[in-house]
């Protein structure tokens, strides 16, 4: 199972940005942990981070040719981007949204997710483990949709 793990704006600064909220691990640290969990689950992940909305949209479009699942942390675009939401909806690939922090327990402007409306589900508030849980959720989804595969 090949999946895309997509990180939105400012997540390249993890480890130095608001560590009280997002933890001390860098994106590379998180990706290392994801890589080893993915290996255990027999998943082949491809990682991508961009600070640019259009580039994230392009990578979702490309994923429709090869990925059987997407894990996305749209970061700040979660709360603002109709275009990213539409891109998730436009591709026939099950997508799970993840957040390090519990966006529903933060400032009012973070409590709405436009992108989640196009996703199968959301995992938020478990720090870097949100991504690990997301990986497991994609595995379960794949088993459900492809029984016997």
Q: Which residues bind ligand DQA (CB under 6 A)?
A: 10, 73, 75-76, 78, 99-101, 103, 110
Nearer to ligand DQA by Cβ, of 22 and 67: the residue is: 22
Q: How many CB atoms lie within 10 A of CB 122?
A: 20
131 catalytic, yes or no? Answer: no
Tell me the C-alpha distance between 99 and 37, whole Å.
18
What backbone torsions phi and psi does residue 48 show, to the nearest 5 degrees? -155, 135
Nearer to ligand DQA by Cβ, of 59 and 73: the residue is: 73
Tell me the C-alpha distance between 94 and 119, whole Å.
7
Which tokens in the block code for residue 31? 């990706």
Nearer to ligand DQA by Cβ, of 30 and 63: the residue is: 30
CB of 86: closest distance to ligand DQA in angstroms?
19
* Residue in this structure with the two tokens 């979660």, named with its chain if needed: 78
CB of 7: closest distance to ligand DQA in angstroms?
9
Which tokens in the block code for residue 148? 């016997």
CB of 149: closest distance to ligand DQA in angstroms?
31
CB of 46: closest distance to ligand DQA in angstroms?
20
Nearer to ligand DQA by Cβ, of 10 and 142: the residue is: 10
79 catalytic, yes or no? Answer: no
Q: How many CB atoms lie within 10 A of CB 69?
A: 25
Nearest to 81 by CA among 108, 106, 55, 48: 55
Marked catalytic residue, from 61, 79, 99, 131: 99
Marked catalytic residue, from 22, 61, 79, 131: 22
Q: Which residues are catalytic?
A: 22, 99
């Amino acid at each position: 199972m090949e999946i895309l793990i997509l990180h939105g704006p400012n997540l390249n600064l993890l480890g130095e940005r608001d560590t009280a909220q997002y933890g001390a691990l860098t994106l590379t640290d998180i990706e290392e942990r994801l890589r080893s969990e993915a290996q255990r689950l027999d998943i082949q992940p491809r990682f991508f981070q961009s600070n640019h909305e259009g580039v994230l949209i392009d990578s979702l479009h490309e994923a429709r040719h090869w990925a059987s699942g997407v894990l996305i942390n749209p970061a700040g675009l979660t709360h603002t981007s109709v275009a990213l939401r539409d891109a998730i909806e436009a591709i026939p690939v099950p997508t799970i949204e993840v957040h390090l922090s519990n966006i529903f327990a933060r400032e009012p402007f973070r409590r709405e997710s436009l992108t989640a409306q196009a996703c199968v589900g959301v995992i938020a508030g478990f720090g870097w483990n949100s991504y690990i849980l997301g990986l497991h959720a994609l595995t379960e989804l794949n088993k459900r949709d492809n029984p016997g595969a």
